[in-house]
Structure 1
Amino acid sequence: MSRLRLAGLIAGALAVLTLAVLFTLGLRINTGSDMPDLAALKAPAADHDVEIIRDAWGVPHVYGARDRDVAFGLAYAQSEDDWATLQEVVVATRGDLARHKGMDAAVTDYLVHLFRIWPTLDTEYDALPAYIREIAESYAAGVNLWAAENPGQVWDGVLPMTGRDVIAGFMFKTPFFYGLDKTFKELFAETRAKEISLGPDNAFMWTDKPTYPIGSNGFAVAPSRSTDGHTRLLVNSHQPYTGPVAWYEARLKSEEGLDITGGVFPGAPVILHGHNQHLGWANTVNKPDLADVYVLEVSPDNANQYRLDGAWRDMDVSTATIRVKLFGPFEWHAEREVKFSDHGPVLETEHGTYAVRYAGMGETRQLVQYHALNRATSLEEWLEAMRLLALPSINYIYADKAGNIAYVYNGQMPVRPEGWDWHQYLPGDRSDLIWQEYHDFEDIPKLINPASGFVINANNTPFEATAEADDLRPEDFPPHMGIETQMTNRGLRALELMRADDAISDEEFLAYKFDKTYSQDSELAALIRLWLEQDFSGDERMEAAQAHLAAFDMSADKDDTHAALALLAGEPVVWARMQGEPEPDPVQSLREAVAHLTTHWGRLDVPWGEVNRLRRGDVDLALGGGPDLLRAVYARDPKPDGRLVAQGGDTMIYVADWAPDGTLRTRSIHQFGSATLDEDSPHYADQALLYADQKFRTIPLDRSALEAEATRTYRPGRDG
């Protein structure tokens, strides 16, 4: 029986013709599995005291006696609104996605085995605090209740969901936010380079054409920097509009002290970022160097041994069985060896054998930290939660009612020996290069209450986060931390605006969030300068394009008649740079943009909002904003009518505002609405117009105000 190579598995996941090489166990007939006893799935509901009140916009406000009751109610509400995505997350983190989605998901299933998600859970789950396991299991019970009430919508084998599934979701997904998938992609560049997609249409599958980046903006302004003494926090994550990392909005309140509003991803039983009555935080993606590749010397006599410190060491070898859906009841079963060295998971490629060591490997405490953040009531408690360092990456922008602000460049940053270039591959035969510890929380970059009174991050370097006099200095941190040094246009613009404004009003704070201008230091500005330097003499269309670009004021307002040409021409080039891919010729990209506008509109001066659209059901709206703007809108691959349809960017924007007396006002907007999948729901697209018009809704945190506008109130498992 031949063994599968991972290179073959990746290629096979993309071409049916390689089936004979890939799948060694042969054809099977999937006879299905019995649906669990539905009454047994519903039974845990009796142990949960929860009430869900849907506000005027359908957003669930979940009230419960205990935190675990609230988790149960959140799971039920999210299952109502986005069941298809939630069950896909469950099967993906079990390594069983290919059974339902076919060959394109086979590599993802293999990675679940390679990361040893489930063997780790078998040994570590019971070591988690009892209250965390109760929260995870209560969330699973809420999912199971809804599924038992709606069995016709459930994939075979999904039920029952368990608390382990909840923890597995955190373990599997969090490393991809700092780009771990790109490390694996690099190792197999000669086969067919792919990365994990978190988009809605091909979630968790390997793709060579990501649809949009995962980014974000976060601002915090202290009373000393505001015109009215208020403290303000912007929570502004840039995510896909739908799919496994699209935001779902909720408010959670328990009698144990939990009282928080914000966003969750499918499968998360607590708020991932948002705010409670006392404080809040915004997350943005950061990408320090958190993964290392080691070149292994494999024994010529035993492919399961590698050299370490002068001796041959046995790899830990197990076998993964991957079930792949073909058609009808037929599926293929593939066996693949999973190898692990002292460094981490082992990959065998055509050009060598490698081991990867990465931040978050074997980590199970993500929910512990998130729950502590949810429950924090002061800066001190919030910092204590951050000191857990259970989350491998992600920036935090913080603010609270006492007027404190902070920025934390969070990460599980390995303590690496000095004297090595950790951006390169490392020799795998030295145990002293296998790092064992992370830097303490006190060692990582952070700004707490800078004198300037503001902090920002927009996926840019942590060394540009506030006024220049207060910024962190690169020389204060060891090079082996691999801290980013790049700037985004969003980071440039946020600093250009806030550094110049000593007293920021509420109106200015919102205007800065929705800024649609490209900095003169941005990549797009450099491209425009390049295009204007070209000699297009005798080419009337390109001479006209140059004149058109010369009049561009760098604004992507929806009514701007110059933005369409600039953004259509610039996006392919900037996108390739962001992805580290070969760049298209900028001049050819400009020619193609000219041809596109001429073909579909017959002119170049098309208002940007005529091209850039928000579509949801019957809703079709003009959008301002664009790639890498503070008003972030990402749309690729024009539709047949020539228009771009937004698929990611600004999603679930929150503004938390604490007055000097501690009174909280919170405003929010979602790009669509609370009904993720139900096109017949009034909440399928009811927030789209507000989103397009850059307007907010006020969240009713007072129960009497909530009840006055409630559209539905119910108690899962107890009504009817």
Structure 2
Amino acid sequence: MTGRNGRTGGARLLPLTALLLATGCEPRTATPPAPEGSTAEMKLGAGSLSATVRRTAHGIPHVLADDFAGVGYGYGYAFAQDNFCALMDALVTVNAERSRYFGPDGTYLAALGSQYNNLKSDFFYQAINDDGTVEALLAKPPPLGPSQDARELVRGYTAGLNRYLAETGVDGLTDPRCKGAAWVRPITERDLYRRYYQLSLFASSLFFLDALVDAKPPSLLPDGTLPLPLPAPATLDRKVFPSSETLGLGSNAFGLGSQATRNGKGMLLANPHFPWEGSERFYEAHLTVPGKLNVSGVSLLGVPAILIGHNETLAWSHTVSTAYRFTPFELKLIPGFPTKYLYDGQIRDMTTRTVTVQAKAADGSLTPRQHTFYRSHLGPMMEYPSGLMTWNGLTGYAFHDANASNLRLLDAFFAMDRAANVEELHTAQATWQGIPWVNTIATDAQGRAYYADMSVVPHVTDAKLLRCVLSPIPLLVLASAGLPVLDGSRSDCALGSDADAVEPGIFGPGSLPRLTRADYVTNSNDSYWLPNPAQPLTGFPRILGGEKNVRSLRTRLGLKMVQGRIAGTDGLAGQGFTLEQLQTVMFNNRNYSGELLRDAAVSLCRRTPFVLMPDLSFEDLRPACPVLAAWDLKGDLDSRGELLWRVFLFTAVGATGGPYLVPFNANDPVNTPRTLNTLNPQVAQALGTAIRTLRERGIPLDATTGSVQGKRKNGVFYPVHGCAHDEGCFNQIANQLLPDGTYEPVLGSSFVMAVSFTDAGPVAKSVLTYSQSTNPASPWYADQTAMFSQKQWVDRRYTEAEIAADPALTVTHLQE
């Protein structure tokens, strides 16, 4: 039987009883799924698929099987026990059936933090399904289509999901959200591939779903003419286009090499900032096929490969990349004919596709609803006024999505699961080129730290920008947001290609940034430029995110924390990281904006007791002075003053010219900008606004963070530590403001994992902030939320001995 090393050992699965006896433990008995603290062993069915699911504390499944189909089978079954309804809801979406079951006027929350209308969503997905996009990609040979290994994994995963549904029946589901629901049915492999395709589009087409559905030829104005393009303003807000902030996604990650750790081996911190609700939650699992696979970590709902995690000798995480995944093209339309456009001097006609979906009426009957999409040869038409891209009498905008042919993501992640070191990790990424929208930060047992943005990016060089971004609106979009809007009237402005790219139109791996070092790399959602300030990455195309531009406070704090631990200047013992110190650094809850600006704000408060507000009234600042002076500059549960600072800073960052006196300096990016500009009257007004805001909410100025920020589950309030991105908090928590003036986390620190390689193998600690299950009836619905509230960590079980020794162990044998 394989030990810690998943790359060695016999290919035959030993009977679990023999395995447990070999580790000195006896099998236990009970009926799964069982609450934590009970034990179980149960044999179910017989057939060609088989797996053993061992659950340890907090419901984490450890799936053991002879082959990839089997490990997928066990994983699908275990996942369904915890999150079947959540996955079914996502599959209703990708199958364009939300209007059928929930009505056309309803909305749902997407991972992008946006409310999507059911009918518009259905039109979008129905167009993809009518085109047979997923089916066409499935028919392609690898790497454009899935490998046989991935197909086997999905085959087994599908069977495992359906095994669970067959055992419970629709009416026997324990989750009230879909118990007895008409939209619950057996799942097909095609359903899951549609889900994976959806994941590829999150940072591109899905962000523009409304813009793509809303696009239609312009109507005549009252004077009989067609509308003109929108006038170009002086500036354009970058946030109208996708970024980690506007997508509602983010992350931190440290890859620590031999020179940064106490034992000279690799160490990783994974801290993705993903939604706490919806289909983009993480799920913990450990998958083992002896001799082929031994990987532990998390997946997004419905994905049978581990996306963030570790194996015997490699650990990795991801952060949302700044690169754009799409390129609009500005079309020159034929005057009076808005569906005709010029291309290389020739007139071309747009094509149309009309899709039909079924919508539920008030009486429960179904009625067909139709929508027509317009398309140029460069892509579908879009209507995006907030980005100044309107379909008018002179111009229109076509949308090209570089991930529109990407069904490679499952293989890309599954290949990473089996890589032994950072070189093999890079080979996996370069082979599949399926990472849709994230950076990768990794480390291996040999102590090498790795950063790369090996994601799918449209092939737009800076030279192409100079010759193909020429008209006023594209020039403004490029200057304000770095997004290329290319001339769609010339073939020489079409996307380029690299010889090492898996398909035309994207950059190949040789053109993308990566770095391997012996000390460290980090990323907190800024561009590729500065994973380590000692070795900036330069010379890459602007579409990837830019160089020598300001870093976020969160990025700067992450770099400061790593540098301080290596130097031993952070107040902790010694130099270099231990695993325990990495955990401490993760949850130190430092508020970097407070460290930089609080003292100056207190001085301002003391010398300016009253401030004239924009409404010409005066606000007394004196009550804020002692609160801010006594604040511990953290976002801990018992920190007093962080909330006051939060509201102040949110207003101050909007001050004309910004809140800083010392501007950004590209030669000192970790330490600039800095120093509060107390000469700007809007800064003092921001403090007055914060005082008024808390007074109106009935919240004391010295309220603790834990009293006003937390998650309620099954009637229990779990206070949550951490604070916001703009505050410069590494442990980022993004909230929605509730009617009572308190804050409920909606995304931020989600799965947190610290991994250290040792002579005996990997040692890992983790916490899944929102817990393993979305089912309120599950024992694993809130247990880790309570742990996160108290800065507690789960000891991750990786070896067979560790799994067998868990007091909460339950065992299920599956065969089909």
TM-score by length of 2: 0.72
Contact 1:167 1:367 in 2 (8 A): no
1:82/1:309 CA distance change after superposition, 3 Å: same
Partner of 1:469: 534
Q: Alpha-carbon deviation of 1:175?
A: 2.7
- The structure with the largest alpha-carbon Rg is 2
3-state DSSP class of the match of 1:62? strand
Does 2:675 align with 1:657?
A: no
Q: Which moved more, 1:102-111 or 1:85-94?
A: 102-111
**Residue in structure 1 matching 2:514, options 442, 446, 451:** 446
Summarize deviations over 1:362-389 as a string: whole Å, max 9, x none: 2221111111111112222211111021
Does 2:722 align with 1:625?
A: yes
Summarize deviations over 1:303-347 as a string: whole Å, max 9, x none: 654321122224343221122333341344221123332211223
1:527/1:299 CA distance change after superposition, 3 Å: farther
Does 2:636 align with 1:557?
A: yes
Bigger helix share:
1
Q: CA RMSD in A?
A: 3.4
| 1-structure distance, mates of 2:765, 2:804 | 18
1:572/1:249 CA distance change after superposition, 3 Å: farther
Summarize deviations over 1:532-581 as a string: whole Å, max 9, x none: 5977259464332355445545322222211121113434776999xxxx
1:187/1:536 CA distance change after superposition, 3 Å: farther
Contact 2:451 2:522 in 1 (8 A): yes
Does 2:127 align with 1:55?
A: no
**Residue in structure 2 matching 1:459, options 492, 508, 525:** 525
| 2-structure distance, mates of 1:633, 1:269 | 28
1:175/1:45 CA distance change after superposition, 3 Å: farther
Partner of 1:702: 799
Contact 2:80 2:164 in 1 (8 A): yes
1:117/1:521 CA distance change after superposition, 3 Å: farther
Q: Which moved more, 1:277-286 or 1:616-625?
A: 616-625
Summarize deviations over 1:449-478 as a string: whole Å, max 9, x none: 2x5x01111112222222x222223xx223
- Which consecutive unaligned segments of at least 5 residues does structure 1 have? 1-42, 192-206, 578-584
Contact 1:178 1:287 in 2 (8 A): no
Summarize deviations over 1:11-54 as a string: whole Å, max 9, x none: xxxxxxxxxxxxxxxxxxxxxxxxxxxxxxxx998321111111
Contact 1:51 1:716 in 2 (8 A): yes
| 1-structure distance, mates of 2:353, 2:291 | 44
3-state DSSP class of the match of 1:224? coil
**Residue in structure 2 matching 1:508, options 581, 587, 592:** 581
| 2-structure distance, mates of 1:114, 1:637 | 36
Pairwise mapping of residues 217-236 of structure 1 onto structure 2 (< 5 A)?
217-236=252-271
> What amino acid does structure 1 have at the position aligned with 2:553?
N
Pairwise mapping of residues 420-435 of structure 1 onto structure 2 (< 5 A)?
420-421=468-469, 423-435=483-495
Contact 1:291 1:356 in 2 (8 A): yes
1:188/1:425 CA distance change after superposition, 3 Å: farther
Summarize deviations over 1:668-693 as a string: whole Å, max 9, x none: 1111432321x333222222232112
| 2-structure distance, mates of 1:312, 1:523 | 59
Q: Which moved more, 1:693-702 or 1:210-219?
A: 210-219
**Residue in structure 1 matching 2:706, options 571, 587, 609:** 609
Contact 2:254 2:270 in 1 (8 A): yes
Partner of 2:647: 568
Contact 2:68 2:152 in 1 (8 A): no
| 2-structure distance, mates of 1:610, 1:553 | 16
Does 2:436 align with 1:370?
A: no
Contact 1:67 1:256 in 2 (8 A): no
1:117/1:516 CA distance change after superposition, 3 Å: farther
Summarize deviations over 1:122-157 as a string: whole Å, max 9, x none: 322122333322222322222222223322336546
Does 2:143 align with 1:143?
A: no
> What amino acid does structure 2 have at the position aligned with 1:173?
L
- State percent identity of aligned pairs: 24
Partner of 2:737: 637
> What amino acid does structure 1 have at the position aligned with 2:134?
L
Partner of 1:545: 624
1:110/1:188 CA distance change after superposition, 3 Å: closer
Summarize deviations over 1:376-404 as a string: whole Å, max 9, x none: 12222211111021123201100111212
3-state DSSP class of the match of 2:534? helix
Contact 2:602 2:625 in 1 (8 A): no
Contact 1:614 1:692 in 2 (8 A): no
| 2-structure distance, mates of 1:529, 1:189 | 51
> What amino acid does structure 1 have at the position aligned with 2:281?
A
Contact 1:177 1:285 in 2 (8 A): no
| 1-structure distance, mates of 2:777, 2:686 | 41
Summarize deviations over 1:599-649 as a string: whole Å, max 9, x none: 565631222222222332243233321112111222221342x33222321
3-state DSSP class of the match of 1:223? coil
Contact 1:319 1:336 in 2 (8 A): yes
Does 2:541 align with 1:478?
A: yes
Q: Alpha-carbon deviation of 1:161?
A: 2.3
Q: Alpha-carbon deviation of 1:586?
A: 7.4
Q: Alpha-carbon deviation of 1:222?
A: 1.2
3-state DSSP class of the match of 1:615? strand
> What amino acid does structure 2 have at the position aligned with 1:505?
F
3-state DSSP class of the match of 2:756? strand
Q: Which moved more, 1:285-294 or 1:709-718?
A: 709-718
> What amino acid does structure 2 have at the position aligned with 1:633?
I
Q: Which moved more, 1:501-510 or 1:692-701?
A: 501-510
| 1-structure distance, mates of 2:590, 2:604 | 19
| 2-structure distance, mates of 1:695, 1:612 | 18
Q: Which moved more, 1:542-551 or 1:142-151?
A: 542-551
1:341/1:528 CA distance change after superposition, 3 Å: farther
> What amino acid does structure 1 have at the position aligned with 2:778?
S
Q: Alpha-carbon deviation of 1:589?
A: 6.3
1:298/1:189 CA distance change after superposition, 3 Å: closer
1:165/1:121 CA distance change after superposition, 3 Å: same
Q: Alpha-carbon deviation of 1:180?
A: 5.7
Q: Alpha-carbon deviation of 1:55?
A: 0.6
Q: Which moved more, 1:389-398 or 1:323-332?
A: 323-332
| 1-structure distance, mates of 2:411, 2:297 | 18
1:429/1:531 CA distance change after superposition, 3 Å: farther
TM-score by length of 1: 0.81
1:345/1:253 CA distance change after superposition, 3 Å: same
3-state DSSP class of the match of 1:287? coil
> What amino acid does structure 2 have at the position aligned with 1:544?
P
3-state DSSP class of the match of 2:526? coil
Q: Which moved more, 1:558-567 or 1:697-706?
A: 697-706
3-state DSSP class of the match of 2:766? strand
> What amino acid does structure 1 have at the position aligned with 2:793?
F
Q: Which moved more, 1:540-549 or 1:280-289?
A: 540-549
3-state DSSP class of the match of 1:559? coil
> What amino acid does structure 1 have at the position aligned with 2:92?
V
| 1-structure distance, mates of 2:148, 2:361 | 41
> What amino acid does structure 2 have at the position aligned with 1:425?
V
1:615/1:589 CA distance change after superposition, 3 Å: farther
3-state DSSP class of the match of 2:636? coil
1:154/1:266 CA distance change after superposition, 3 Å: farther
| 1-structure distance, mates of 2:600, 2:184 | 50
Contact 2:459 2:505 in 1 (8 A): yes
1:594/1:124 CA distance change after superposition, 3 Å: same
**Residue in structure 1 matching 2:765, options 663, 667, 670:** 667
Partner of 1:414: 458
1:338/1:136 CA distance change after superposition, 3 Å: farther
Partner of 1:70: 71
Q: What is the aligned residue count?
A: 644
| 1-structure distance, mates of 2:336, 2:647 | 56
